[in-house]
Amino acid sequence: MNKKTSQKKIQRDFEKLLRELKQKDAFIHYQREHETGPIHLGYLKTAIDTDKLEKYIMPRLQEYMYQNLNELKDHIPFTKTELTDDADQIPDKLVKSFVFIYMANVSPSYLLIPLPLDEKRQVSVPEVEFSVVGPKEAFVEDIDTNLNLVRKRLAIPELNVKKLRVGTITKTDVAVVSIAGIADEDNVKTAVQRIKDVDIDQVVDSSFIQQTIADNKNSPFPQLLDTERPDRIASILVEGKVAIFVNGSPHVLLGPTTLIEFFSAFEDYFLNWLTASSFRLIRLIAVFFSILITPLYVAVLTHHFEIVPQTMLTTLVNSRMQVPFPPIIEALVLEFAIELLREAGARLPTKIGQTIGIVGGIVIGTAAVEAGITSNVLLILVALAALGSFTTPVYKMSNTIRLIRFPLIIVASVYGLIGLAISIAYIMVHLLRLTSLGRPFFAPIFPFRFADFKDALIRLPFSMQNKRPFQVRPSKVKRPVANENDKLRDSR
């Protein structure tokens, strides 16, 4: 009696559900008769893989003799199938790529089969952090593929993956990855705690996490490094750092990081240490050059003619002879032009973008000088400064570098070198105070960690990288790197 009434209720619920679902565009409903009564099959066309449905489900449904859904379930070659009587959860499951099969008069009466459509990009060559030598795999948008790319490189049971859900609407999968026994537990806990505390409706990319869990959200400096190279993530995990994967993002965050790490390309580790160190130094010099050269030009030409060497005065004054503006206007016009070019190049498709580069570089540059809007010398300096900012391997940092130039130019024009010195001191203090997942961001310069310089401004050979960076407080500091032959030679 009781069973019958409940069966009736289920049938009523199902009819109601079917009416509701039929309102939807993408809903496909299929019905066939069976000895126990009608069998209904339904799914959302855009959510499931119809190939799989036709190949594996439909034949079973039509050919196989079964009395209830439990029997059917055993013969369907998919895991994660579910049986239920509850009609309320069906719409939710349908959008999550499930197919339901309803069989009247038996209990349980719904069989749910997941048939997700695996639309994902192939693993391809890294484009942002391209390197000539070394592995050529880059992360894709799918978190499981990304985790797999790292697992391939770190096939160890200690690899700790903690999955979280972020986003009140998107419910995006976020994974905090570290190596147990090497990474500091505090760092992992900090990362997990901060991600749990994030209260945001959507997480579309790892940048959302990067910005919401930043130590100082008002800082122009990114405080977590993002990379698209699985080899880099594997390497920093071994160093004792923490990686944060976000579903839907081909960029994986890593922390705690340092300012200098933003200027080290991962290619540095594939080259001989002398070459790598030189290139890293060149990159750091380029950054200083990029930030300071235009402000210095403005400051010197506006206030400090004394410090220009006599022989250079001729060149400077000659090139400025036709220019009717003070240096500040001249510099701002050019910097603005360069930013316009960059922005136009970034917004346009690649092929047109190249044209923009040529138009901007040659036509506008030459024309501006000939028209007497800017001087030749400044044109060269601004172009070099722009070039310098593009040597930074991390795109977000290179944006920051271009940005902090503008206040410096304005201060330099009003207060000269004194103003410039004070502004730089201000930026330095800001950097000293910054932290990344609670660890000092300006290390190893401040707090001074002599041992960490082995992989900071320069990269010393692997035989000297026998300790993990102290800045991240690894649980296990020592790491074996020396060659057996080296050890023998050293002991002799």
Partner 1 sequence: MYLKYIVFFVFVTASLLLNAFMPSKIIDQIQMITVIGFDATEEERVQGTVASPKYQQEGQVEDFIYTDTADTVYEDWVKLNAKATERLLNGKIKVVFYNQKLAAEGISDFIGFLTRDPSIGGNVSLAVTEGSTLDVINSATTTKGRGIFFADLFEHNIRHGNLPQINLKIFESALDSGTQDPFLPMLSIEKERPALTAIAFFKGDQYVDKLPIEHADVFKMLYEKNVSDGEYQYKSEEYIAAVENIETTKDVVFETNGGSGTVTINVNIRGAVREFTGQLPTTQKEKIERDIKQDIEKKANRLVSRFQELEIDPLGIEDDIKSGNRTYNQKHFKSAYPDMPIRVNAEVKITGYGIMR
- For the bound state, the minimum distance from the C-beta of residue 250 to partner 1, rounded and expressed in Å, comes to 34
Nearest residue (CB) to partner 1, 364 versus 410: 410
Tell me the C-alpha distance between 419 and 402, whole Å.
19
CA dist 434 → 220, 256, 399, 443 (Å):
11, 11, 18, 10
Give the closest residue to 72 by CA, choosing from 44, 98, 110, 116. 110
Q: Identify which range of 17-25, 123-131, 172-180, 408-416 contacts partner 1 by CB under 8 A.
A: 408-416
In this structure, what are the phi and psi dihedrals at residue 243, rounded to the nearest 5 degrees? -110, 145
For 3, 20, 31, 371, the CA distances from 40, given in Å and listed in that order, are 21, 15, 5, 77
The DSSP output letter for 122 is P
The Cα–Cα gap between 397 and 286 comes to 13
| Closest CB 413 distance from partner 1, rounded Å | 8
Closer to partner 1 at the Cβ: 426 or 448?
426
> Which listed range, 46-54, 150-158, 238-246, 312-320, lies at the site for partner 1 (CB under 8 A)?
312-320
Residue recorded with tokens 């790292």: 150
- Taking CB under 8 A as the rule, does residue 431 contact partner 1? no
- Chain-centroid distance of CA 382 in Å reads 29
Which one, 313 or 363, has the nearer CB to partner 1?
Answer: 313
Residue 306 makes contact with partner 1 by CB under 8 A: yes
Interaction between residue 429 and partner 1 (CB under 8 A): no
Site residue total, partner 1 (CB under 8 A): 25
23 lies in the binding site for partner 1 (CB under 8 A): no
| Exposed/middle/buried for residue 339 (C-beta within 10 Å: 0-12, 13-18, 19+) | middle
Q: How far apart are CA 27 and CA 105, in angstroms?
A: 24
Q: Does 372 bind partner 1 (CB under 8 A)?
A: no
Q: Is residue 405 at the binding interface for partner 1, with CB under 8 A as the rule?
A: no
DSSP string of 304-326, one letter each residue:
-GGGS-HHHHHHHHHHHTT--S-
- CB under 8 A: which stretch of 331-339, 349-357, 409-417, 473-481 binds partner 1? 409-417
Q: Is 38 helix (H, G, I), strand (E, B) or coil?
A: strand
Dist CA 492 CA 484 (whole Å): 13
Residue whose CB is less far from partner 1, 305 or 336: 305
| From candidates 52, 251, 283, 303, binder to partner 1 by CB under 8 A | 303
Separation of alpha carbons 392 and 394, rounded Å: 6
The minimum distance between CB 325 and partner 1, in angstroms, equals: 10
Q: Within positions 317 to 346, which residues make up the interface with partner 1, using CB under 8 A?
A: 317-318, 320-321, 326-327
The interface region with partner 1, picked from 28-36, 141-149, 313-321, 360-368 by CB under 8 A, is 313-321
- How far apart (Å, rounded) are the C-alpha atoms in residues 277 and 461? 10
Amino acid at 474: P
- Which residues ranging from 209 to 248 are in contact with partner 1 (CB under 8 A)? 218
488 binds partner 1 (CB under 8 A): no
Which stretch, 51-59, 61-69, 278-286, 297-305, contacts partner 1 (CB under 8 A)? 297-305
Per CB under 8 A, the list member of 384, 410, 457, 464 interacting with partner 1 is 410
Positions touching partner 1 (CB under 8 A) are: 218, 300-306, 308, 310-311, 313-318, 320-321, 326-327, 410-411, 414-415
